[in-house]
């Protein structure tokens, strides 16, 4: 079967070459520094803290398309959805910026930034170069995704360091236990497990349950305080509020959910109802409780 991740990363290298030709790195760095100077002492919104303090922990994703499903909601704009995510109880929002495979654009973050001043925004992208980190900071992202499967160990460490130097938080995504070794190259703010194989795009939320104990052990082995340790996130394939409650019992505090909301006519209302059900205590099974 064709490895979709390999195809996406190859295309990303081509896109980066074009972008760097149109705007050289030194120009992008200068513009980004100007943005940082304008922000002054203003601290970026912490996605990690927002998830930790949230009753639901939901990272509501704006995603119009996927390689496995094609167009999910082709005619919707981020301004129509992300503010409703904020109003509906999302702890953060993930915005896809890959255009070819996910129907996203980098400008989507910029277009909603001022509309949701308190909502942490994650640039969800296949990041393989520091150039993309400067782009993220320039348009107003608060956090970025780094995918272990995209990167060599030393690349991850370098990108993590650069992201933190720009004030960006990092969500490190792993898919199997071997990739937990990336923690030795640097501690991310959040540690996520993708329930979707990036090679085949087959999704199974059971993957989070299977790897949860190993994730907790790997984090404990870092010997960090509770505030310093990365917060655990489950990504993809979550479509039932009861699953969120069960995942919380396994130590997860963030839940990245996209297609469940984006497939609906009103993604914001779908999120609102999902959050409400997530926070509603489960009824006892027959024969249990009153």
Grouping H, G, I as helix, E, B as strand and the rest as coil, residue 158 is helix
Asked whether residue 138 is domain-assigned, the answer is yes
Tell me what pLDDT residue 230 has. Answer: 98
Using only the alpha carbons of the chain, give its radius of gyration: 18
Q: What CA–CA distance (Å, rounded) separates 252 from 233?
A: 5
Query: How far apart are the C-alpha atoms of 211 and 113, rounded to whole Å?
Result: 34
Split into its structural domains, the chain has a count of 1
Residue 95 within any structural domain of the chain: yes
Q: Can you give the pLDDT at residue 285? A: 46
Q: What is the CATH number of the domain that holds 129?
A: 3.20.20.70
**Domain for residue 159, yes or no?**
yes
Cβ count near 84 (within 10 Å) = 20
What is the pTM (predicted TM-score) of this model?
0.93
Average pLDDT over residues 240-264: 95
In a domain, 286, yes or no: no
Q: Does 284 fall in a domain?
A: no
By the 10 Å C-beta count (0-12 exposed, 13-18 middle, 19+ buried), 65 is classed as: buried
Q: Answer yes or no: are the C-beta atoms of 131 and 98 closer than 8 Å.
A: no
Q: To 5 degrees, how large is the angle CA 252–CA 256–CA 262?
A: 150
Helices and strands (H and E) in the chain: how many: 11, 10
Q: What confidence tier does 289 reach under pLDDT thresholds 50, 70, 90?
A: very low
For residue 264, tell me if it sits in a domain.
yes
| Lowest-pLDDT range of 40-54, 165-179, 230-244 | 40-54
**Pairing relationship of beta strands 143-147 and 92-96 according to DSSP bridges:** unpaired
Domain-embedded: residue 157: yes
Backbone phi, psi, residue 174, to 5°: -120, 165
Domain, as residue range, for 48: 4-279
Beta strands 58-62 and 231-235 are unpaired
Report the interhelical angle of 267-279 vs 241-249 (nearest 10°).
50
pLDDT in tens, 22-43: 999 999 999 999 999 988 766 6
**If you write DSSP's letter for every residue of 126-142 in order, what string do you get?**
---SHHHHHHHHHHT-S
Question: What tokens does 206 get?
Answer: 């059971």
So what's the pLDDT on residue 288? 35
Task: Check: CB of residue 195 under 8 Å from CB of residue 236.
Answer: yes
pLDDT band at 2 (very low <50, low <70, confident <90, very high): low
Q: Are 258 and 95 in contact (CB under 8 A)?
A: no
In this predicted model, what pLDDT tens digit does every residue of 152-211 receive, in sequence order? 999 999 999 999 999 999 999 999 999 999 999 999 999 999 987 665 567 788 899 999
* Three-state DSSP class for residue 121: strand
* Average pLDDT of span 66-72: 87
285 in any annotated domain: no
């Amino acid at each position: 079967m064709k490895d979709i991740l390999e195809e996406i990363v190859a295309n990303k290298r081509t896109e980066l070459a074009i972008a760097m030709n149109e705007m050289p790195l030194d120009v992008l760095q200068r513009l980004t520094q100007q943005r940082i100077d304008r922000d002054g002492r203003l601290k970026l919104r912490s996605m990690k803290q927002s998830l930790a303090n949230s009753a639901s922990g939901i990272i509501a994703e704006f995603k119009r398309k996927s390689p496995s499903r094609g167009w999910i909601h082709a005619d919707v704009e981020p301004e129509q959805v992300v503010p409703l995510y904020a109003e509906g109880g999302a702890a953060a929002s993930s915005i896809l910026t890959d255009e070819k495979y996910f129907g996203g654009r980098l400008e989507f973050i910029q277009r909603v930034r001022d509309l949701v001043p308190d909502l942490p925004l994650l640039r969800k992208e296949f990041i393989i170069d520091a150039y993309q980190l400067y782009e993220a900071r320039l348009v107003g992202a608060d956090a970025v995704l780094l995918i272990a499967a995209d990167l060599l160990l030393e690349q991850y460490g370098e990108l993590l360091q650069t992201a933190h130097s720009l004030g960006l938080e990092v969500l490190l995504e792993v898919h199997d236990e071997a990739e937990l070794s990336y923690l030795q190259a640097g501690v991310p703010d959040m540690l996520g497990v993708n329930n979707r194989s990036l090679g085949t795009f087959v999704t199974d939320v059971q993957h989070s349950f299977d790897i949860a104990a190993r994730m907790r052990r790997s984090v404990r082995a870092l010997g960090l305080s509770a505030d310093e340790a990365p917060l655990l996130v489950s990504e993809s394939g979550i479509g039932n509020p009861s699953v969120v409650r069960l995942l919380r019992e396994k130590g997860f505090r963030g839940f990245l959910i996209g297609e469940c909301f984006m497939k609906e006519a009103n993604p914001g209302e779908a999120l609102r109802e999902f959050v409400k059900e997530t926070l509603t205590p489960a009824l006892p099974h027959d024969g249990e409780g009153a």
